[in-house]
Structure 1
């Protein structure tokens, strides 16, 4: 009836002698609408309304999808609906405003009003190309395929001039190390870095801020010194001073992340980059009325070149320590164990710090000889699970060694592949047991043990060892010989040595003497 009311009012004002411009002002409607209905008869308007009701709309073929999303996610935005349709169906044959009208009508027809959010943002003055970027963090709760929930953390950086964005997600809170890694990824994505970056006062980058004198964390200060960009920290509770990135975080959360199903962090980041190409950086920005990806082409020429930070940065976060005689390294009042035999006079190692862990690296070979979680206590001995084994010997190396010992057959490969899969957490230990066990028995027993375990799906080094021992004993009984060890397991100094064989009479005489002493 609203349409009929508009039509009737236009005709009434026309009969009173008003012109089109006066009708436009009085009714506060578009001049084109007034012109459209100005000379139209009631029966013509009725026919127009009838045709409009019966005419199929372009968006009707997406109605079930759109309606299901609105019902499930009452706060979903039209922009996210548009992105989901593009993600599912590719290029679309309608404009954004058509979708907004259609979604608005669906919400009204099915009584599905949008849940409102109150947060507001303020703009900062426009800056020249390549001068500034803004950084902020965000969080989002998502569902896994099994229905459980997971909290994700995002790093967002936006170039202030072009509004070109980069977003990086983690499934655990950011640390200084991962924060720096996110910077490197962003600079690579941009093709350069700005002269200044604006931050919040976050503990992973700043320890204290004393009336403008900022004390950064040691690791981040090293990074700033290396990269040579200026920094500016916002005052506490003053998000408006970096409103561009605040808007980006909101945009990413409510137009990309929200209502997505989380499978793994790598595919989630991959999908986010596709979303940036498609929507975040690929659509006209509401404020600048330009496409960020297109503006970046010009702004990239004003960005600073990025130093080769990865190798240099690792030097900044590593320390040189001496190995003690008892094969330990002291670090921050705790003792960290290294494999037995590491020590030699003057031996030094490098400690590479990563998040809450450290790698102890051989200075000469560059190999990681131990890995520890950094202890928060004092005076603690942080032990290795296997101090006799070098951690640098990878599972892959142990796998090929085991495969060689087992003869390199397809059955041996099947056994090892399944053991590595079923016992992934202890794969190296399992493979080590197999190498040690198989080296001590004959080839025939090893072959039978492999076939037995594979045929009965016994994916365990312990079961293989027991099976090997069983077949070896069986072979021994059949040949009336004891199982012999592989010559490689006999020390060279013992080879060729024969044991003395005593006569039975000597043992009989010794027993008689013992009985005589006991009676006395």
Structure 2
């Protein structure tokens, strides 16, 4: 019958693709039967029926399931077979091929349950922001596995994206902090924000009446944006953000190795700039970063910080990273070295003062002493650092140099020598001074002679200083041993005590001045 139907449609000028679509079979099958005569087709069918296949024993089950549930996939049929026959050893490709043959032979069309979607009109600029959460498992640099959590944002018009990661599940306080960071990243907020029914922000939805958590309700009251909460099992209303979550998982996070959360967030922002917001969007056919430049002008301004009452004292704080910096408006600002401490919460209070030229003020406590001040940068991804917050690396070296100079009889000459070493080896001066310090400890009686030799010969190198000291010490020992041996082997002079040369004599032996 299949042979007859194929040739009948062919006589009616149907194309191969049209025949395949009409009969719900593959195009290779159409080509195969078109190349056969009727007798060849009958022989081929009889051959198929007579050939033993691994799943022939289960054919009745499979045929019954397909006739009753035409939409079933081969993966579901495979699962049902294993449910009834746990000892069945068969691969997925075998099941797919067998199900495909049965569908074609018995003309069982796979009825796909199609859900009707309504096209969502494009949102105007500055109208809507969509938010969702996600999580991934990443390999660490020591080949372990860690679970990471992220919060993603996307502007509905420009598709401009933002994300923030952390190594623990999000709390409502975390969600508020990420909202603030996103508003700073975008330079404003939209009129409306779309969410799923997440427990971090909602308690319940009663016939359209939203019940938000107390902490998030306080936040919404101050920021004054509208909330659109998606119904359960209704992903169409927030399809943009769901695609963003998949994009982040599949493009940024996939196969990326995790070292620490600060580095991970830095690389996430770099990925957004390089790929996430730079590549042409498949729907808009435009780069999100370029469209965002226009949409940004339609966002509503957001004050730099939240008020003390609205956020239970938490949303105007920032976490101090291990490198003693805080994040503000996509930049890092330094705090004094030692602000970060292990086994503590590491929170500081921040305040923005000024109008045209704004200053970021950082305190340990809400009304405590100021520990840092920075002019706020309009750029992104920058490290704004106060030089007073960094370790004075030259202080320790200077102290070491002064201590070494104090060992010499002529401090002026010693200071000139060490200054010359510092100029010649600025990156390795500590190592140079350390070698000389060991020489001083080992040959204290020789150091002034060695210094004079080095200055005369212009040998401004700690290794030369060490080698000369070692050589002088060797000459002195050999001379002493020779004299001692001479007097010991001569009875006539056994009562005479050997005299020793001064260090200047050994210096003259090396070619220096006596």
Scaled by the length of structure 1, the TM-score of the pair is: 0.40
Scaled by the length of structure 2, the TM-score of the pair is: 0.40
Q: Highest Rg: 1 or 2?
A: 2
